Structure 1
Amino acid sequence: MSFNVSLISFFVLIIAYFILVEIFTVLFRLTGLREDKARFQAVSCMTNSGFTTRESELILNSAARRNLARVMMLFGYLFAVSGVSLLVNLFIRSSGDQINWMTILYSLVFLVVILVITRSKWIIRKFDELVERLAKNKTKGAFCNNVRILEMFHDKLIAEVFVTCIPPEIRDKTLLEMNFRHTYKLNVLLIKRGNIIMDHVISSDEIKQGDRVLIYGSKNNIMELFKDSI
């Protein structure tokens, strides 16, 4: 492989790396993780580093996240091997091949343009929306409202629901308006909204997208309400 081809391949590899990190950030977010934690997990998996015991629990407690992490680690390994191989080839070829400086210049300009584009919040938002829409269509709701069972009591359980898709029947309604406890036979124990913990849930509260909700009730009732909501 010539120096110029190796250089172009290396830049393409860098661009592909950033694109994959963004894609998997969206996929992790669809499993219920916040944006910052989703991005941290994506970068950690791609670099095979950065995990702490507490952070790794976010992956281990979800089958969907474990599958995503497994795929990302494989990509990370391939990127590492390819990157090292290309760098070694660049070093070897730099002393033997005739270097085309115009190719280097064009490659650098192209890389700068890509980096500028990736800094655009509008472009990133549109790209994320596209990935999210495609992911939901392909997985048929697999990433919608990740439900994690915390405790089981005979036929009832306590579950944590990462609300990424609001069921139409509860959207923009308070618990009182939909008579939540009697209609769905579920009790909302706690709502975590960002950094706010609502541990005294009242009838005027609503369940919103992005909430982490602690719910008590039967598994069938929980799954029927939150997993069939796309």
Structure 2
Amino acid sequence: MPAIISLFVAVTLSLLVTRIASEALTLTGLSRQSARFQARSAFTGSGFTTQESEGVVNHPVRRRIIMWLMFLGNAGIVTVISSVVLTFVTTARSEQWILRLLLLFLGLALLSLIIRHRGFNRYLNRLVRWALRSWTNLDVRDYANLLHLKGEYRVMELQVNSSDWLANKQLHQLRLKAEGIMVLGIQRQDKTYIGAPNGSTYIRPLDLLILYGRKTALLELDSRRDDLTGEIAHEKAVRIQKYIMQEQAEQDVTSSESLSSH
């Protein structure tokens, strides 16, 4: 009986470890389905090679989670195997074999029902997520992967000074979208955060802007001053963006024609 209990404890702990790891991976930006797959794969040592796996390995926080999973997984599997062997090898009489097999199957069936219960899963997910947010610092998302940042495109912070071209204007006056730049958020000096600001939002001195766009365009915007040269630079940036959009449109047409020909 002690061996069977130790088996159930090992299986329960294994399931709990993978659930915690799944939630931790979710906090780093992975989808819930991908996080569960990667956690179970690492814990069981399956070693599936996928594009998602490469994203996990290249992310420092995810890599640390996977390393702990691999370590605990090896220890857990050894414990389970040793418990099963101990249970059946130390028992000689057939009636005890049957009884222990019955207890083993009933216990695993009960554990499976509990794990699949939606209410239990919902409560456990909330508890694990609360614990991870309270006692760890895992909210480190791989924004480059989430936004599919490739080539020259970047997410960049820009501090607004009083002499900048951006200062003391509304977003619709700046026409940053015409330059191929998107304002994802604004951090005010008083720590107020404005997410997905609209056109009527004012840009104030000392604001911290979170911008998305081409690196060269973002760097040029950061050096732009509130004078005639700033307006000239803005118009030039708009023309460059129009040229880029035209090139992209021509590439799309060419690609569509190539696909239709096949």
TM-score by length of 1: 0.63
The 5 A counterparts of 1:176-215 are 176=199, 178=201, 183-189=207-213
1:80-136 superposed Cα distances (whole Å, 9 cap, x missing partner): 211221222233123369728666655544433332121122221221111111111
Q: Pick from 106, 117, 122 the counterpart of residue 120 of structure 1.
A: 117
| Conservation of the 8 A alpha-carbon contact between 2:29 and 2:142 | no
Gaps of 5+ in 2: 157-190, 220-262
Q: Residues 30, 47 of structure 1: CA spacing in aligned structure 2 closer, same or farther, 3 A cutoff?
A: same
Aligned match of 2:176:
none
Question: Bigger shift: 99-108 or 74-83?
Answer: 99-108
Q: Pick from 2, 7, 11 the counterpart of residue 8 of structure 2.
A: 11
Gaps of 5+ in 1: 161-166, 191-215, 219-230
Aligned match of 2:44:
47
Give distance in 2, aligned partners of 1:51 and 1:100.
37
1:176 Cα deviation after fit: 3.6
| Conservation of the 8 A alpha-carbon contact between 1:29 and 1:38 | yes
1:41 Cα deviation after fit: 0.7
Given residue 154 of structure 2, which amino acid in structure 1 is its aligned partner? I
The 5 A counterparts of 1:110-149 are 110-139=107-136, 142-148=137-143
Find the residue that maps to 1:188 and give its secondary structure.
Answer: strand
Aligned match of 2:92:
95
1:145 Cα deviation after fit: 4.3
Higher strand share: 1
| Conservation of the 8 A alpha-carbon contact between 2:28 and 2:142 | no
Given residue 122 of structure 1, which amino acid in structure 2 is its aligned partner? G
Give distance in 1, aligned partners of 2:201 and 2:119.
36
Given residue 55 of structure 1, which amino acid in structure 2 is its aligned partner? E
Give distance in 2, aligned partners of 1:79 and 1:159.
41
Give distance in 1, aligned partners of 2:120 and 2:3.
29
| Conservation of the 8 A alpha-carbon contact between 1:61 and 1:148 | no
Give distance in 1, aligned partners of 2:192 and 2:38.
30
Q: Pick from 29, 33, 58 the counterpart of residue 36 of structure 1.
A: 33
Give distance in 1, aligned partners of 2:5 and 2:32.
32
- The number of residue pairs the alignment matches comes to 178
Give distance in 2, aligned partners of 1:146 and 1:184.
20
Give distance in 1, aligned partners of 2:24 and 2:95.
43
| Conservation of the 8 A alpha-carbon contact between 1:26 and 1:38 | yes
Q: Which structure has the larger Rg?
A: 2
TM-score by length of 2: 0.56
1:63-82 superposed Cα distances (whole Å, 9 cap, x missing partner): 11111011000011101211
Structural RMSD (CA): 3.6
Aligned match of 1:58:
55
Given residue 116 of structure 2, which amino acid in structure 1 is its aligned partner? R
Give distance in 2, aligned partners of 1:189 and 1:110.
56
Aligned match of 1:224:
none
1:178 Cα deviation after fit: 4.7
Given residue 146 of structure 1, which amino acid in structure 2 is its aligned partner? R
Given residue 139 of structure 2, which amino acid in structure 1 is its aligned partner? C
| Conservation of the 8 A alpha-carbon contact between 1:7 and 1:104 | no
Q: Residues 176, 119 of structure 1: CA spacing in aligned structure 2 closer, same or farther, 3 A cutoff?
A: farther
The higher relative CO (CA closer than 8 Å, separation ≥ 6) is in 1
The 5 A counterparts of 1:76-95 are 76-95=73-92
Question: Bigger shift: 102-111 or 46-55?
Answer: 102-111
